[in-house]
Each structure stands twice: as C-alpha cells, then as structure tokens.
Amino acid sequence: MDFDVIIDLELDKIDNILKKIDEDPELDDVKSTEPNLWNGMSNFMVVFTKPHYLP
C-alpha cells in the first residue's frame, strides 16, 4: 500500500473523529481539548508528509 494512501486513510479517520466530537452534545468548553489534539495531529501529518497539500 502506498504511503500517501495510508496517510489519506488516517486523515479521513481524524475527520470522522472530529465530526463525532462536533456532534457531541457536551458544551464546547468541556470538549475543546480533544479537537485541539486531533487537529494538531492532522496538521502535523499534512505538514510533514504532504507539503504539496499546503495552501
């Protein structure tokens, strides 16, 4: 399996996690840590593995 395909799959999973967190009925203050973590991981993956994705 190609490395880019694996990264794309991981980014899709992170997107799914972020959607689930967003749909969670808890207050944003309570659930703010998790999206920050997953967004940071996603940004790290894009910056260091797919620099051509950057704007």
Q: What is the pLDDT of residues 11-37, one digit of tens each?
A: 999 999 999 999 999 888 888 899 999
Q: What pLDDT is recorded for position 14?
A: 95
- Inter-residue long-range contacts of 1-6, CB under 8 Å, 24+ positions, other chains counted: 3/49, 4/49, 4/50
Domain limits of the chain?
A: 3-50
Q: Which residue has better confidence, 24 or 5?
A: 24
This model's pTM is above 0.85: no
Tell whether the model's pLDDT for residue 52 goes beyond 80. Answer: no
Sign of CA dihedral 53, 3, 22, 37: negative
Q: What is the mean pLDDT of the segment spanning 41-54?
A: 75
Longest dimension (CA), the chain: 40
Q: What pLDDT is recorded for position 28?
A: 84
